[in-house]
Structure 1
Amino acid sequence: MGGLRQVTASFVVPGPSGVAIRSSLKGLTGQDETVLRLVGALLGSLASRDLRARCAAGLDHDGEQWARRKQALTGESSSRWAGSITRSTHEQWALARRGQLAHIQGLQAGIETITHRLAQPVGAKGFKGAPGGYRSRREWSAKSRRLHVLEDRLEQVRADWEAGRVRVVRGGKKQRLRWEAERWFLQFDGESGKRYGNETIRITPSGEVSIKLPAPLAGLANAPHGRYVLACRALFRHRGGQWADRIAVNRAVAYRIHYDVGRNRWYVTACWQNPPVRAVPLQAARAGGLVGVDMNADHLAAWRLDEHGNPVEPRRFDYQLDGTAPHRTAPHSTATHNCGMP
């Protein structure tokens, strides 16, 4: 039979490559918020300037230019902050390039489809998955004009791609406060071997949050070595044990402090990379049978599958999610933990 979709061969999906958890910063004093805003605004302006310099360099950028950019930023912040800003800039530029390429491919696909349909007689039906002609002369004329627009746009985007030009905006401009908050820069990658895995934004096992202030704002420090300690504590409820294990042995943890304008709250996000793990071969995973689970609003429906993927034994685990948070968590955990099948 023609026209049927072919089923791709089964494969084992690799595990997550990283982890990100978040905690709200409750109990910040007015001075804390002032310092966070000042640090974010200063580093954000440096990040915007660095991004502009990177975009201007285009494809001619090299390691020597990177070093000059970092050196210029170091004098206005610190070597660590400068390194974090330049790394973020390179990631933004690379993301913009990937988006630009995807835009080119989308324009090409649209042009090919319209060109094909314009070449068909008006009202012609499609055949074997290929689209037919347009329904009327009016639609044909409109799509003909649309084709010229797309061709002009493709020419412009291709010229930008070949010249290495990208257009990146750090934050939007719909709401002034949100626009400013999105442009703040308060993030730093982790450093293995440094105390608690991060020398610049540090969170201790007890949840104390401190920031190494950039040089122009060192006068705001309330702790030794140019650090500012927030009055609140960060508490990671989700995967908090994993986070604590990492910082206990000084493994790298990256942090980002950000302000949610809609909720009027400050948050800190911690993230780290998982070590690469070799995926189990599909044949080995099937050897002892598998369990297929369907998550529903009030129950888990599970089937034990044999080595060929055939369902051989059903199970159902009911749980009630109404009520308080502790009540919802308890039955959900019980249902999840008891879903192992012989």
Structure 2
Amino acid sequence: MKISKKLSILISAALITSTALVGCGTQATSSGNQTQESKVSNINISYVKSPLNVPSIVEKKKNLFEDEFSKDNIKVTFPEITEGSKMTEAVAAGSLDFCNAIGATSVILAAANGVDIKIIGMYSRAPKAFTIMSKDPNIKTIVDLKGKKIVGPKGTILHQLLLGALKNENMKIGDVQFINMGIPEGVSALMSGSADAALVAGAAVPQAVSKGARIITTGEGILDATIVIAASGKFIDKHPDIVKRYMSVHDKSLKFMKDNPEETYKLAAEETKLTVEQVKEMYNWYNFDPKITDKDIRELEKTQDFLKENGMLKKTIDIKGLIK
């Protein structure tokens, strides 16, 4: 009977301790922003400054993410991953939490291939920032590109622009010699004369113009050139509070841009090696509103159609289901 009483006391003590521990597990930290259960020690946010990703530049240069998350002792790192496919690979591997500016093509391709990734906001729409350029005085229109050598990155917004521009003239990709090449290499090929035309975007456009190239067409009337903000689906489910705060910081960067235009131009010029005048000209090409509209969803669906029609995507996904 004495043993039974001791056991009863021990069990009661264990239950009290267990209850106390459970309480600690859900207790908010001193800042009140996250629980011990959902505690995050590090956030990885991709940093891409080109073509002219002004919100990202402001966020990094003004330490906006650090200011927000340091209160919870969360370290923020900014891996410079400039290729969309590399970003989605990093998300799949668990080494990247947020893609702060990624082409919709990359997100759709990754999601269709099983990567747990979601779109949490729009980053930009900038059809005028994406161009087809030539140095040849005989090439004045898209029709003049028939049989010509065109260089640019495959499976991207620029590739989609080329196909859309050809389609508008009742032409197909087979009517030109398209060679997969990065933007810097493409501009070099154009300047050296080893390519007749190049797919060029962002800061490389005014730089190419200064070297004698001309814009044959931009994305206006062809596509919206949709860049999105994406995140790991697993991270979103596990840390919705962090995602909400992330978007709040992004909104702060947009407010800073609106309230401090001259400083914003200067920061962007320093980071992209453009002149302030060039930044001002290009800045007007961009719509940085993060809200996802019905038109944005239609553009995403058009992008998926482009990928499927050109053999880059075998199965389609529910675009609305891709948005969190």
Q: Please report the TM-score for the alignment, with normalisation by the length of structure 2.
A: 0.24
Rg comparison, structure with higher value:
1
Q: Please report the TM-score for the alignment, with normalisation by the length of structure 1.
A: 0.23
- Higher RCO (C-alpha under 8 Å, 6+ residues apart): 2
